[in-house]
Amino acid sequence: MFENIRLSFRGIWAHKMRSFLTMLGIIIGIAAIIAIVSTIKGTNEQIKQNLVGAGENTVEISLYQGEWEYEMEYNGIPEGVPLVADEVVEQLKEIPHVENVSRYLSRQDYNGVYHLNTGLSGGYVKGVDTAYFDTCNYIMKEGRGFTQQDFDQYHKVAILDEDSADALFQGEEAVGETIEIQQEPYVVVGIVTKAKKFEPVINSIDDYYTYAQDSAGSVYVPATTWPIIYQYDEPQNVVLRVESTDDMTSAGKAGADLLNGYLSVSDTTIQYKAKDLMEQAQQIQELSSSTNTMLIWIAGISLIVGGIGVMNIMLVSVTERTQEIGLKKAIGARKSRILGQFLTEAAVLTSLGGLIGVLVGIILAQVISYVTTTPVAISVPAAVGAVAFSMVIGIVFGVFPSYKAANLNPIDALRHE
């Protein structure tokens, strides 16, 4: 085997230009596939991060009516939807891969939050429990968080995120000031920010509207004071923090199924659903991948062309080395030895083309990323698979020339000129 490989490299080096032109089809095909796969992988990761958020791994489970989130303000409180009890929270924590659980209430308030004459248009008001900020990966930037006393004694205190603080106070000091929520005064005691900053990559106007929809900010109040602002015994939402992004879909579905088991509603369209951002990401990824799969097949055609080129040059090589083959057979070389030598030469030729193609593909992917600002992620399995596939191409298209060489009559081969 090693002797055959050595002879293959010697033959390739002896005919450098011919060998390179033979490998060119393989190089182009592999390079195109590597570049396309790298672009697909990079784009998919960007979609996944833009929708889900880097390192968040949180799943929100809310009450829906059909395909739309249930609107308490317009539809009223539905009958048969109990509050999420402490024992239910413990059951949610037992779902595989769930690290933490929090209950919260939420409304998008278009004209109910003010500081003096400045309003928070389209912002969210959320009534949270003691575990919310930890579950959702928030840290205090200024002031303090909620204390147990705030919950027990129904203190009308509020915490703002950075967006709502900027909108309401426009750069001025917010902690210690008073805001109005539905004409109820709340004292701002703190400002929170995400522990991990994440900015989505926005490449189009559609991306802008998708990722900027929550930029109005949120105001957080103790959940026990929620009835002061809105209504009593509203159904709660649940947020789960899971171990990894890939666990979000399964954990969200399991959590929604668990909560739905406690419903006794007459309207069967009312049920808990997880806001499955991972599923949205996968749908967009599949749409992107289906388009790019066609490009991979087109690039694969050049591999077939390259394989035909290998077969052609191997047939030429057999013709050129007919006397050499006859001499080897005359001194006792078996058919299997001749067959192995030519198959090895074809495999080495295409494998070398595959390696060069991978390098060219990586460079091409980086150039595409630089020119179009499209993210790329080099796939190691794809690179290894590409080299292995190129070797298979060499073996498949080298079978006929190798078989022809192995079956030459030694006498006729020695007479060949």
pLDDT digits (tens, 9 = 90+) for 84-97: 999 999 999 999 99
Q: What is the mean pLDDT of the chain?
A: 79
Average pLDDT score over residue span 360-365: 88
Kindly give the interhelix angle for 86-93 and 248-260, rounded to the nearest 10 degrees.
150
Structure tokens at 296: 């991979």
149-158, 231-240, 355-364, range with greatest mean pLDDT: 149-158
Q: What is the pLDDT of residue 204?
A: 47
Pick the residue with more confidence: 363 or 376? 363
Average pLDDT score over residue span 305-315: 76
Q: What is the pLDDT of residue 127?
A: 94
pLDDT band at 51 (very low <50, low <70, confident <90, very high): low
Pick the residue with more confidence: 155 or 415? 155
Task: Note whether 325 and 81 are within 8 A (CB).
Answer: no
Distance in Å from the first CA to the final CA of the chain = 29
Q: What is the pLDDT of residue 261?
A: 92
Q: What is the pLDDT of residue 205?
A: 41
Statement: residue 400 has pLDDT above 50: yes
- Angstrom distance (rounded) from CA 200 to CA 207: 9
The residue among 138, 165, 143, 158 whose CA lies nearest residue 226 is 158
Statement: residue 183 has pLDDT above 70: yes
Statement: residue 275 has pLDDT above 90: no
pLDDT band at 283 (very low <50, low <70, confident <90, very high): low
pLDDT tens digits for 106-144?
988 878 899 988 888 888 999 999 999 999 889 999 999
The residue among 62, 56, 57 whose CA lies nearest residue 273 is 62
Q: What is the pLDDT of residue 66?
A: 85
Q: What is the pLDDT of residue 56?
A: 67
- Angstrom distance (rounded) from CA 3 to CA 9: 10
Statement: residue 325 has pLDDT above 90: no
The string of DSSP codes covering 289-350 is HHHHHHHHHHHHHHHHHHHHHHHHHHHHHHHHTHHHHHHHHHTT--HHHHHHHHHHHHHHHH
- Angstrom distance (rounded) from CA 151 to CA 171: 29
- Angstrom distance (rounded) from CA 386 to CA 225: 61
Q: What is the pLDDT of residue 26?
A: 82
- Angstrom distance (rounded) from CA 216 to CA 189: 20
Phi, psi of 332 (to 5 degrees): 110, 5
Count Cβ atoms within 10 A of the Cβ of residue 105 and give its class: 0-12 exposed, 13-18 middle, 19 or more buried. Answer: buried
The residue among 116, 115, 113 whose CA lies nearest residue 124 is 113
Statement: residue 211 has pLDDT above 50: no
pLDDT band at 288 (very low <50, low <70, confident <90, very high): low
Q: Tell me the Ramachandran region of residue 342: left when phi exceeds 0, alpha when psi lies from -120 to 50, beta otherwise.
A: alpha
Q: What is the pLDDT of residue 95?
A: 94
Pick the residue with more confidence: 4 or 175? 175
Pick the residue with more confidence: 105 or 325? 105
Domain boundaries, the chain: 2-49+283-415, 55-276
pLDDT band at 186 (very low <50, low <70, confident <90, very high): very high
